[in-house]
Amino acid sequence: MAFLSSRRRRSRLAPELDDEDLGKLMKNLVATTRTSAIAMTDMCVAQMSRLLEQEPDDWDRRAHRMGVLAEFLAGSRLPSSWATREPRNANALVLYAWSEVVRAGSRGGLEDAAGVIDSCLRAATLTPEDPTPWVVVLSAARLERWEQPQVFGVWNEVLARDRWNRQAYLTMLGYLAPEEAGSRMQVLEFVDALRAHMPANAPCAATELTAQVFQYHSVLDRGGFEALVARNHWSLTSGARALDHVAHTWVQPGFLRHARACADLNLLAYALMAADRRHEARAAFEALGGIVTPWPWQAGGDPLTGFEQAQRRVPQ
């Protein structure tokens, strides 16, 4: 039991991943989001402003921080209060819009889609070089099931500012899925085009492996015999190729340098274990240092439990 307890302590859900400054801010926000004190709200806004103004041209880091804060504050009035008080602050406008998109994900749609889009467009006018407002518009367009010509127009706005934007590629991957507005063929074409041009360590490097995990989960969801032999997905050409392409590079120290590298390493560890490539998974688990992301581990239930059970199966 001592072994299990120590393993549990080492594993933790950390939305900020390895971003220590973001983690400190989130701890400071916990108390403030539970009170309506104006002074506390002002302090929170000041802290968020300072963090989001760091490294202003690092779009990858900015999107990570904005997305984590939007998830964390989706049930709070803080984003809307900040945007109302500072209508010409691009950070406030984008955080409000992104938090509304997060809330809409559980409701199936935006309560005020026009207001969200307007906030993003105002932010884009204030900071025309920043792709983040367009990333949020892309997410809103996916939720609202815009037609493909409109969505690709927004997509091009993102790419014109940040060619390898991680969040944008994953959003488009979901939008083009047959369950949404596309088809299996469009997903394959999208991934193939990316693979042909993308640097191996780009922030969007996990797009292909994400597509493979989505497909693997769709097989599991069918149940019956197909679910029993779902592991075979990783021995097929596309699944094996996606893993072979990244299994030995991503785990090298310093190879992945983008803000959500830990999320990609979680994906890699999960896929390697699903493929029964346990020896290769060991390096991914070691690189993570116990940082766990809900997806894809939550596919089997509690993500921490799934992570720890998989980790215990890795040869020592």
Structure pTM?
0.93
Choose the weakest-confidence range: 56-70, 132-146, 213-227, 301-315: 213-227
Does position 136 have pLDDT exceeding 60, yes or no? yes
Q: What torsion, rounded to 10 degrees, do the Cα atoms 142, 146, 150, 155 define?
A: 0
Mean pLDDT of the chain: 92
| Contact present, 241 and 186 (Cβ < 8 Å) | no
Could you give the CA distance from residue 164 to residue 156 in angstroms, rounded to a whole number? 12
The phi and psi torsions of 219 (rounded to 5 degrees) equal -70, -45
> Taking 90 as the threshold, does the pLDDT of residue 170 lie above it?
yes
> Which class would CATH give 17-162?
mainly alpha
Find tokens 């307007």 and name the residue: 118
pLDDT of 2? 35
Tell whether the model's pLDDT for residue 108 goes beyond 90.
no
In this predicted structure, the answer to whether residue 126 has a pLDDT above a threshold of 80 is yes
3-state DSSP: the chain helix, strand, coil percent, rounded to 5?
Answer: 70, 0, 30
Q: So what's the pLDDT on residue 38?
A: 53
Tokens at 141, concatenated: 């367009």
Residue 152 has pLDDT above 90, yes or no: yes
- Would you state the pLDDT for residue 237? 86
Mapping DSSP to helix (H, G, I), strand (E, B) and coil, where does residue 291 land?
strand
Nearest CA-CA partner of 183 in 173, 193, 170? 173
The yes-or-no verdict on residue 3 having pLDDT over 80 is no
Which of these ranges, 14-23, 33-42, 122-131, has the smallest mean pLDDT? 33-42
Q: Is 2 exposed, middle or buried (0-12, 13-18, 19+ CB in 10 A)?
A: exposed
d(CA 35, CA 33): 6
| CA distances, 78 to each of 27, 87, 168, 266 (Å) | 15, 14, 25, 31
Burial of 277: CB neighbours in 10 Å, binned 0-12, 13-18, 19+: middle
**Rounded to whole angstroms, how far apart are CA atoms 216 and 222?**
10
pLDDT at residue number 105: 83
Task: Give the CA radius of gyration of the chain.
Answer: 20
Would you say residue 103 has pLDDT above 80? yes
Res 1 pLDDT > 50? no
Contact between residue 217 and residue 299 where contact means Cβ atoms under 8 Å apart: yes
Q: Looking at the predicted structure, is the pLDDT value of residue 270 above 90?
A: yes
Domain ranges of the chain: 17-162, 189-316
Q: Is the pLDDT of residue 107 over 90?
A: no
| Better pLDDT: 6 or 221 | 221
In tens, the pLDDT along 67-92 reads 999 999 998 889 999 999 999 999 99
- Which runs of consecutive H residues, i.e. helices, occur in 198-260? 207-222, 224-228, 237-246
pLDDT tier, 39 (very low <50, low <70, confident <90, very high otherwise): low
pLDDT at 19 over 50: yes
